[in-house]
Amino acid sequence: MGYHYSCNGLLLLVSVLMVVASSAVGSFYQDFDLTWGDKRAKIFNGGQLLSLSLDRVSGSGFQSKRDYLFGRIDMQLKLVAGDSAGTVTAYYLSSQGPTHDEIDFEFLGNVSGQPYILHTNIFAQGKGNREQQFYLWFDPTRNFHTYSVIWKPQHITFPLECSKMLNLLEFPSLKNQPMKIYSSLWNADDWATRGGLVKTDWTKAPFTAYYRNFRAIPCNNCGSKRSSSSSVSDAQRQWQPRDELDATSRRRLRWVQKYFMIYNYCTDLKRFPQGFLLSADNTS
């Protein structure tokens, strides 16, 4: 039996918090595996810094050693600088299989002097089509910025809203499928920049993105089954009310949505002439 919900019943908050994680962080050696790209993926500075690179031969990627089910996950990224057109830096949580769940950040590169585009999506039971896009209102290549997902049994906070909270009661799988953390840097010049009109300039390669200050805080009072994240970094710390977005953060996210959103699946009548329907049978 399919699940049917209108777009107005969803919130997609993508929490781009430009603050340094204040509590202790783990080591990339401890928390992640470099999964592809040969030596283009590197961990250094004693496990406190990770980089991914892309050249004409290959991109690169990594994934978490553990699965996660509920909590707050922070990662600081510094994206590919200069002419990054054609490149995509993807950072996301995902389960496995044809009915997988997924929470996506994709950063679409651009020519020098033009803003990056943040592309977001959520998959539930293998169905996506919940894309939103924003021009980043800051330069993500000059400094590290923290990108956060707050995942509780009641909702996901993952900034930039349709209207109301993304209610996980509407998506049972998002309450039951633990997810790993993934990231990759790859060439997508067939679509990433101006719909593929601007190609990757390989004379600028290698392209490199940097990661630091990963932090995972489990929601110890969520009352759900434990995933293998029970031993994650900083696991001794209990979930605190301050791990939710405060009023100031919510106002800032509304400001971002108003002035920097360039695509919203909720209002795309060309793709969804009857309005967006979330359905187990929806393959559009």
Q: With helix as H, strand as E and coil as C, how does 64-90 read?
A: ECCCECCEEEEEEEECCCCCCCCEEEE
Q: Model confidence at 8, in pLDDT bands (50, 70, 90)? A: very low
Q: What value does the mean pLDDT take over residues 240-264?
A: 75
Q: Which of 23-37, 71-85, 235-249 has the lowest mean pLDDT?
A: 235-249
Report how far residue 197's alpha carbon sits from residue 200's, in angstroms, rounded to the nearest whole number.
10
Name the range with the highest mean pLDDT among 4-13, 81-90, 218-227, 252-261. Answer: 81-90
Q: What is the pTM assigned to this prediction? A: 0.82
The amino acid at residue 135 is: Y
Element (H, E) at 258: helix 247-260
Cα 101–chain centre separation: 13
Q: How many C-beta neighbours within 10 Å does residue 88 have?
A: 23
**CATH code given to domain 28-219+242-267:** 2.60.120.200
For 189, the token pair is 């010049």
Q: What value does the mean pLDDT take over residues 242-264?
A: 78
Q: What value does the mean pLDDT take over residues 58-75?
A: 94
Residue numbers annotated as active site: 102, 106
Mean pLDDT of the chain: 79
Structure confidence by residue, pLDDT tens digits, 180-226: 999 999 999 999 999 999 999 999 999 999 999 999 988 877 754 44
Q: Model confidence at 58, in pLDDT bands (50, 70, 90)? A: very high
User: Is a pLDDT exceeding 80 seen at residue 114?
Assistant: yes
Q: Which burial class, exposed, middle or buried, applies to 232 when counting CB atoms under 10 A from its CB (0-12, 13-18, 19+)?
A: buried
Q: Which of 24-28, 71-75, 132-136, 222-226 has the lowest mean pLDDT?
A: 222-226
pLDDT given at position 158: 61
As a whole-number percent, the residues of the chain with pLDDT over 70 amount to 74
Structure confidence by residue, pLDDT tens digits, 140-178: 999 999 998 888 877 777 654 443 345 555 666 678 889
